[in-house]
């Protein structure tokens, strides 16, 4: 009887570990995407419109 209970606990423990692993993996992927978006946005500089200098517009 004790072995059956141990197998159930071990199985429950393995299932919990599996779901924790999936949850951490998804959270990590989502955080990575958010960090990449923040880095891209921080590297982009807003364009300054200079009405006096139109050299870049005339190509």
- Distance (Å, whole) CA 55 – CA 33: 37
pLDDT tens-place string over residues 14-51: 999 999 999 999 999 999 989 888 888 888 766 666 65
pTM above 0.85, yes or no: no
The CB-side HSE value for 10 (13 A sphere, CA atoms) comes to 6
pLDDT of amino acid 49: 66
Q: Which two tokens stand for residue 28?
A: 């990590």
Q: Which two tokens stand for residue 54?
A: 């139109």
Give the Å distances, CA to CA, from 38 to 7, 19, 43, 58. 46, 29, 9, 33
């Amino acid at each position: 009887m004790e072995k059956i209970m141990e197998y159930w606990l071990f199985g429950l423990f393995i299932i919990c570990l599996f779901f924790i692993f999936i949850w951490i993996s998804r959270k990590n992927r989502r955080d990575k995407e958010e960090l990449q978006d923040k880095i891209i946005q921080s590297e982009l500089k807003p364009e300054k419109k200079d009405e006096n200098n139109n050299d870049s517009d005339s190509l």
